[in-house]
Each structure stands twice: as C-alpha cells, then as structure tokens.
Amino acid sequence: MILIECIQQMCHEAFIQAYPTLITEPWMAEVTRATSVKFGHYQCNSAMKLTKRLAKNPKEIAAQVISILQTGEGSAGLFEKLEIAGPGFINVWLKAEFIESEVNKMLGDIRLGVPKIKNPQKIAIDFSAPNTAKEMHVGHLRSTIIGDALARIIEFLGHELLRLNHIGDWGTQFGMLIAYLKQYQPEVASGEFETDLSHLMQWYKTSKKIFDEDLVFKKNAQQEVVALQSGEASAIQIWKMICDISQKAYHQIYDYLEVKLIDRGESFYNPMLPGIVKELTDKGYVVINNSAKCIFLDGFKNREGEALPMMLQKSDGGYNYDTTDMAAMKHRVQIEKCNRLIYVTDSGQSTHFAMLFAAAKKVGYADENIRLDHVPFGLVLGPDGKKYKTRSGDTEKLIDLLSEGVSRAKKILLERNQQEAIFTETELEETAKIIGVSAIKYADLSGNRIQDYVFEYDKMLKLEGNTAAFLIYAYVRTAGIKRKLSEKQDLSAAKIQLTHPMELNLAMHLLRFPEIVYQVADDLFPNGLCEYLFELANHFNQFFRDCRIIGSEQQASRLLLSDLTAQVLKLGMGLLGLKTVEKM
C-alpha cells in the first residue's frame, strides 16, 4: 500500500473494532493530508460523519478510535502522536524514525516508492482529436497536453492503455474538397503533383465558399460524398491523399511534443453506424422525432424545458457525432474490452458526453463495471481575456505557438550565456527547446483544467513562481549538489538521517509522492502533481537555506536527501511530459 492507504486501513480497522456494527456496511475511514503542519501529517475526519449513525458524540467516537490505534499492531512504529482537534478530527503525526526508514527505501527504489497498481485495467484515453485538412491550432493545445500527462501517469501505474486520437476524417467537408480538387486542381487529384497541408487548408476554404454560392458545384460535392461513402475508387484515392498529408503534419507536432497516439478516425467507425441504429431501433430505444431517429434520456432538457434528444440518424439519413461516439463506445468496451474510458475535450462538450454516458448505460454498452470519465477543460485566453488569437485576429497555429516559446527561451539563455559561457551551440538549441516546450506545457497543466487560463510567455518563462523554469532550475540545483560532491565522497554505504526539522519536512513531502500520483490517476487533475512538485522545490529551498551540506557532519545524509529530491522532481516532471536539463 501507499502510505495514506496504510493509515486509512489502520483507522478503518480501529473504527470497526470500536463499533462492530460498521462492518456490515461498505465503509472506509476517510483520511486526508493535514491542512497545516500544526495539525500533523494526516487527518481522519470520519468520527463526525458517524455521529448520527452511531448516536454518539464525535469526540467520544474519536477518543475510542485513538485508544485502539495507540495499542494496535504496527502502530508503535508508525504514530508519534494522535490527538483530537476541533469537533472530532483525529490529527496524526508520524514518527521521525518511520519517515527516515521510508525515504531510505525510496532512495533504493527505481519507482521511488510508487507501487504498480494491484489490479491493472485496460483503459482507453481519447485526446487531441484534430480535423483532417486543417492545421492544429491553439485549441488543440489543452487536449493534447492534458491527455498526454494523464496517459503517462496511468501507464506508469501499470495499466494497459490505448492512447486514441479520434480524428475528424469523414463527412460532407470531404465531398467539397474532393469536388474542388477534381475540378480546379486535377494534377493534385490524380496524384501527378504533390501538395501540403497549407494548400489543402486554402483549397478547403475556397471550396466552402464555392459550395455556398454555386448550386452546380454544391450538387457535385454532394455526389462526391455519396461516392466516398460507397467506396468509389477515385474519391477514396483523393480522400486517402488528404488524410496522409494531414496525418504527416500533425504527427510532426506530436513528435515535437513527444506525444504518442494511435490514430483512429471517424472513418474507422463509419461501417458500424447502420448496425448501431438498427440494433437500438430493434431493441426499442429509438424514437422518431421530426423524421430523425433519437434516444431520449431522463434529465436532459433544452432551454425551453423540452426533452433534449440524442440524435442517432438525421432526417436525411445521415449520421453525426452521437452515432459515431456510440459506435466507438461499443467497440472500446465490447471489442477492445476496456474497463475505463476517458475523454479529454473542451468544456463545451460536457452535455454531449453526459448524454453519451447516460445513453451507453441505458442501452447496455457500458454497465456499472465500466468507468466513464469526461475530462473537460476551459479556454486558452490572450492577455485581453478573449480567445487566444494572432495579432491579425486569426486562430494561432499550434506549431507557431510552440516555436515562439522556444525562441523566447533561447533569447533568455543567450543573455545568460553572454554573462557566463554555459552552453555550446548544440546545448543551447536543445536546452531552449526543453525549457520553451516545458514552459508551455506546465502553464497549461498547473492550473485547474476546468478554468480558462491566460497565455503569457513572459510569465511562464520566469525562474520565480510556479513555472516549469522554476522546477527545472530546482532540479539542476539539487542534482548538481550531489554530482559535485559525490565524486569526492563514497556514498554507497551512507543513509539518510533526519536530524533537523527542515530535513523532516522535506522527507515527509517526498513520502507523499506515491499518493499524489495515484490521486491524479483517479481524479484526472494534473495540477495536483504540479502543486506537489512546486511545494517540493520550495521545501528543498528551505532545507538548503537552513541545513548546511558541505562540510557538515551530516554531509553524506544530506547529499542523499538532495539526490532523492532530484529524482522525484525528474520523475514527477516526466510524468507530466516535461524534461529536465543538467545545467541552466
């Protein structure tokens, strides 16, 4: 078990021993991190929640539980102090000897105390999701970064993970583009000339304009949609060419960000859609509403208070996102045997996914054993508080956003390099990319994902405050201390010994690393790990300020504590998709 689970289990058993009637109910003692160091290391708040059930004063309940904990098996080596606070909180202090023993175990563990999950699951996480024939823009930033961080954490715990990229690669827009290429760019349509994504985007905009104005072209485009759906050779050939060009472009960005994904477009599920509609119609779930085939779900209404339908098939016979997502849900659960599905999209799609999850449970595609999570996030805003755009008012291309971050990081490093020669030219380029990309990722991840955030290069590249640059600098500092001194001192037989309050605070924070990793894998809020790492860096700075390392009697122990801090920083940042450097 991780530490918080161990304490929770001990408290749970003490509650049941004190009040045996609790054993008949599915219940577990609630243990949380203490809100302040003056309240100990952990708090158990269950006594107050059991007041009505046990018909007793919460302080009386807490006192009975404490008396059992103090004499229980294993408690003698774990608890330094247990006390009742407020109306019935149980405050828990751990023994310094226990903390010392556990950080030494972490030091010798390649996973730094984070155990693999006991019962691994197969999990699908759906994120990024660009549209074919369009460049990735700032709107794709959050889904890609948040999804990758969650995927890294879930994989690290030992789950089998499908990283799915649900690409918009099917629909009416392809009919327009295919018709345009055949009529206006026949050499490209035939494969004689190669093209790129920037041209495809311009042709798409032009084809949309002609589609809206020219009835003949509109009819041709609609015929190309039918041809594509029926598998006509020339339509399929052009469609594949468009998809290949788009895929190459967005995978260049994924490679730049070091994000791994399995592409699976809407076209993958297209053959399944008629079967989905027929199956749900035959089972009586489908209702005809204005000639469209719909499912009605309890609790979903429009602004007028009318029942809000989930449309599976439009009145013209076409399908939409609801149909595709139902097919994807069925495939991921029934064919790929996933136990948990995670969807990382903007908050604007919250109603869609709430209805999708309700529908999947209603029709039996996902029973109570399948966990369904929507991970919503807010907007990326400019300094003016509006959607982030270029100076010309266009949506910012994601590659331009990343390149600008790296360029600004390089400028800062060049200024430092002029003062003191730190980097070679190659090191300068590599370090600028790491800092620039990490700064952008961390600025996104460090806030509560549900909220909008303001994108500011100057703020995210600062060495002070809760930034990637601050964490990277903290890592350089911690790793450098040990690297410089370990060459002169053999640390193979040394152990961490905690003799100073700042050492104890730092060590206790290091011990919380496993619980934070597990917490983020469960609640899907990466900012929890960001906050932990920021606090870790601050704890180390306080330790470094108050505890002399070089030349002290505790030099070996403190070098090891510094090294463990560096390891946790590096692993924690890696789980967020951030990289470290060895000098800065």
Do 418 and 520 sit in the same domain of this protein?
A: yes
The count of C-alpha atoms lying within 13 angstroms of the C-alpha of 197, restricted to the half-sphere facing its C-beta, is: 18
Do 374 and 414 sit in the same domain of this protein?
A: no
Total of domains in the chain: 4
pLDDT reading at 483 higher than 90: no
Picking from 259, 289, 322, the residue at the C-terminal end of a domain is: 259
Picking from 259, 287, 303, the residue at the C-terminal end of a domain is: 259
Instruction: Please report the pLDDT score of residue 5 as a whole number.
Output: 94
CATH number at residue 438: 1.10.730.10
Do 473 and 508 sit in the same domain of this protein?
A: yes
**pLDDT band of 479, cuts 50, 70, 90:** confident
CB 516 within 8 A of CB 528: yes
Residue 106 inside a domain? The answer is no
Model confidence over 418-461: pLDDT tens digits? 888 888 899 999 999 999 999 999 999 999 999 999 999 999 99
Residue 396 inside a domain? The answer is no
b/e sequence 426-461, b meaning 16+ C-beta within 10 Å: eebeebbbbbbbbbbbbbbbbbebeeebebebeebb
Do 277 and 363 sit in the same domain of this protein?
A: yes
Residue 508 inside a domain? The answer is yes
Model confidence over 112-156: pLDDT tens digits? 999 999 999 999 999 999 989 988 988 899 999 999 999 999 999
Instruction: Please report the pLDDT score of residue 52 as a whole number.
Output: 92
Do 158 and 182 sit in the same domain of this protein?
A: no
Model confidence over 185-203: pLDDT tens digits? 999 999 899 999 999 999 9
Question: Is the pLDDT higher at 163 or at 385?
Answer: 163
CATH number at residue 59: 3.30.1360.70
Residue 300 inside a domain? The answer is yes
pLDDT reading at 75 higher than 80: no
Do 231 and 287 sit in the same domain of this protein?
A: no
Instruction: Please report the pLDDT score of residue 391 as a whole number.
Output: 67
Cα separations in angstroms, 287 against 82, 292, 314, 322, 330: 60, 8, 12, 15, 20
Instruction: Please report the pLDDT score of residue 172 as a whole number.
Output: 82
Instruction: Please report the pLDDT score of residue 489 as a whole number.
Output: 78
Instruction: Please report the pLDDT score of residue 25 as a whole number.
Output: 73
Instruction: Please report the pLDDT score of residue 392 as a whole number.
Output: 66
Do 537 and 439 sit in the same domain of this protein?
A: yes
Mean residue pLDDT of the chain comes to: 93
DSSP 38: G
Residue 550 inside a domain? The answer is yes
Cα separations in angstroms, 212 against 68, 173, 216: 77, 12, 10
How many helical (H) and strand (E) elements, i.e. helices and strands, does the chain have? 23, 14
pLDDT reading at 549 higher than 80: yes
pLDDT reading at 486 higher than 70: no
Percent of the chain residues topping a pLDDT of 70: 99
**pLDDT band of 229, cuts 50, 70, 90:** confident
Do 531 and 441 sit in the same domain of this protein?
A: yes
Q: State how far Cα 270 lies from the chain centre.
A: 28
20 Rama sector, left if φ>0, alpha if ψ -120 to 50, beta otherwise? alpha
Contacts of 437 (CB under 8 A, 6+ apart): 256, 257, 402, 405, 406, 579
Q: Which of 248, 257, 268, 79 is nearest to 169 (CA)?
A: 268
b/e sequence 53-67, b meaning 16+ C-beta within 10 Å: ebeeebbebbebbbe
- Residue 418 CB-density burial (10 A; 0-12 exposed, 13-18 middle, 19+ buried): exposed
pLDDT reading at 223 higher than 70: yes
CATH number at residue 310: 3.40.50.620
**pLDDT band of 475, cuts 50, 70, 90:** very high
Do 138 and 208 sit in the same domain of this protein?
A: no
Do 198 and 305 sit in the same domain of this protein?
A: no
Alpha helices in 19-93 (DSSP H): 46-49, 51-54, 58-71
Q: Which of 50, 57, 52 is nearest to 12 (CA)?
A: 50
Percent of the chain residues topping a pLDDT of 90: 83
Residue 113 inside a domain? The answer is no
Picking from 197, 232, 259, the residue at the C-terminal end of a domain is: 259
C-alpha to C-alpha distance for 356 and 372, rounded to whole angstroms: 10
Do 244 and 372 sit in the same domain of this protein?
A: no
Residue 480 inside a domain? The answer is yes
Domain containing 538: what range?
Answer: 407-575
Residue 35 inside a domain? The answer is yes
Model confidence over 83-118: pLDDT tens digits? 999 999 999 999 999 999 999 999 989 999 999 999
Do 528 and 423 sit in the same domain of this protein?
A: yes
Instruction: Please report the pLDDT score of residue 46 as a whole number.
Output: 94
